[in-house]
Structure 1
């Protein structure tokens, strides 16, 4: 099959690699424009770097409704356009170009978690499973007919980073399988979504609200790992919490009133606890501003916790 590939971040790399490995003719790659990084130097996207290494021609159009771009895409005579986290909306003029259609790889079991950050939100919301959906693109946002779905279980200690890696690999396998079996697939229209729109993650979303339960906060910590991380403030400094769990044995802090001490931190026997809404969170790994990440035990060896300090202030 002749394919035009469109993608930008790391998540797009495995699908592109697998398509080439499977013997498909990826004749052209579209990706976002180079970005200015340190010292104003222009840095190419991960997909552009990979395409260059594979000697595949690359375009970085600033806009999609461009006559020259559309003319070039038509000239490719592609069977499919494959789109993976490209970051630009394709107009109908482009969607109609490939012979067999535009296929999108989405990191959720659609119609759940349409939007930009399905991986993180599936963890934050406490879902038990997720997966990859391949779909035929239409003019809506993640609303096209479903081709195939590939399901995986979300591990109880899954982080945004680990799930990202697993789904990226699965995405590569999924697109090759979908194209291989395309003639025998009957596209299925999506139903109504049962989840909130998976809006893009911002740094501010990592700030911990201790008025929430320990279960909710533990999910946030995992979902925000590695970026932007879940954080609060301790004695005026940013305190990142990298790993935590619901405290099932709170005998050491049984005298603490769980109704009115939300956000207060305590340490007992080399363990760190934070009071949340009607529950207690045990912190397993943390990082104080200016310091390296460490276990609770190592942290307490170098710094005593001010007992009952209210975090976030």
Structure 2
């Protein structure tokens, strides 16, 4: 089929590669415009744009798709379908209607749970036992369209957003190839009205750890915000990021630090968490046993 691919971050790259490998004709790739990045703040293309250019594909990166000219250019591509995954721009109705078979979205949750911007983070932070991928027929509402395919996967006890992100990206890549090959036979199932939740964009203000919260809540915060923006605490004025953790059955006063056989335990409101991976300011992230070989943490985190 003739496909327009629309995506921006690393999550979308395996999906683009899978669609290309499946033999479909990519008539254009849409991605968000290059953004200033790095020490020099030079414009850097998105991961999708960079990979698409490596593959010799035509890339467009309009600031918006609301203008008539942009919509006419999109329609002129004559696509059979658009594949959309973490693109980051709202698609006006004219764009949604342009491809002959509509626009398919790969969404990283089990809809209608966690519609919106940060479904992977929110699933972990909420303590969900599972999440998954939905292939959805797009419509004007925010992730409200009928679902063509869904696949669930469990969330590990200490799985981070980064690790789950990579697993779901691979699942989505496999599923969209399957969906495209069976598009004529798949039935679009409307989402139920019960169970709707919204995955609000992550605010950096959510990242500071309050050690008086429960062990389970803190572990979920740490794992859900890893690697970005990274849950953090202060150790004698130094900001330390906690990047993977597990709740443990040990009584420690909130914020008190204990080193036991290479394990870094921190007290919480109802027990303790074991910090499995952390990152000191200006250092690389590493397992707690490695970090504490050259650093003695303070008696308390604040």
**Per-residue deviation, 1:188:** 0.9
1:266 matches 2:258: yes
Q: TM-score, normalised by structure 2?
A: 0.93
Q: Deviations over 1:3-32 (max 9, x none)?
A: 111111111111111111111111111111
Give me the whole-angstrom Cα distance separating, in 2, the residues matched to 1:47 and 1:80: 18
Structure 1: gaps of 5 or more residues: none
- Corresponding position of 1:121: 122
**Per-residue deviation, 1:193:** 5.3
- Corresponding position of 1:277: 269
Q: Deviations over 1:119-160 (max 9, x none)?
A: 111111111111110111111110111111022121222111
- Corresponding position of 1:9: 9
Structure 2: gaps of 5 or more residues: none
Query: What SS does the aligned partner of 2:199 have?
Result: coil
Alignment of 1:29-68 (within 5 A): 29-38=29-38, 39-68=40-69
Q: TM-score, normalised by structure 1?
A: 0.90
Alignment RMSD? 1.9
Matched residues, number: 301
CA contact (8 A) 2:235 2:298 kept: no
Query: What SS does the aligned partner of 1:28 have?
Result: strand
**Per-residue deviation, 1:211:** 2.1
Distance change >3 Å, CA 186–CA 221, structure 1 → 2 = same
**Per-residue deviation, 1:297:** 4.2
Give me the whole-angstrom Cα distance separating, in 1, the residues matched to 2:268 and 2:61: 47
1:210 matches 2:211: yes
175-184 vs 151-160, which moves further? 151-160
**Per-residue deviation, 1:305:** 4.2
CA contact (8 A) 1:214 1:277 kept: yes
- Corresponding position of 1:18: 18
Give me the whole-angstrom Cα distance separating, in 2, the residues matched to 1:182 and 1:32: 27
23-32 vs 285-294, which moves further? 285-294
Give me the whole-angstrom Cα distance separating, in 1, the residues matched to 2:61 and 2:293: 52
**Per-residue deviation, 1:295:** 4.2
- Corresponding position of 2:137: 136
**Per-residue deviation, 1:287:** 3.0
- Corresponding position of 1:287: 279
CA contact (8 A) 2:160 2:244 kept: no
Q: Deviations over 1:250-282 (max 9, x none)?
A: 3xxx6x5xxxx4223234555432221122222
- Corresponding position of 1:174: 175
Give me the whole-angstrom Cα distance separating, in 2, the residues matched to 1:273 and 1:37: 36
- Corresponding position of 2:222: 221
Q: Deviations over 1:25-47 (max 9, x none)?
A: 11111111111223242211111
**Per-residue deviation, 1:96:** 0.9
Query: What SS does the aligned partner of 1:183 have?
Result: coil
Q: Deviations over 1:196-240 (max 9, x none)?
A: 411112333221111211111111111112111121001111122
Instruction: Find the structure with the greater CA-based Rg.
Output: 1
Give me the whole-angstrom Cα distance separating, in 2, the residues matched to 1:19 and 1:6: 12
CA contact (8 A) 1:264 1:275 kept: yes
Distance change >3 Å, CA 50–CA 294, structure 1 → 2 = closer
CA contact (8 A) 2:112 2:197 kept: no
Give me the whole-angstrom Cα distance separating, in 1, the residues matched to 2:137 and 2:266: 47
- Corresponding position of 1:93: 94
CA contact (8 A) 2:266 2:273 kept: yes
CA contact (8 A) 2:85 2:107 kept: yes
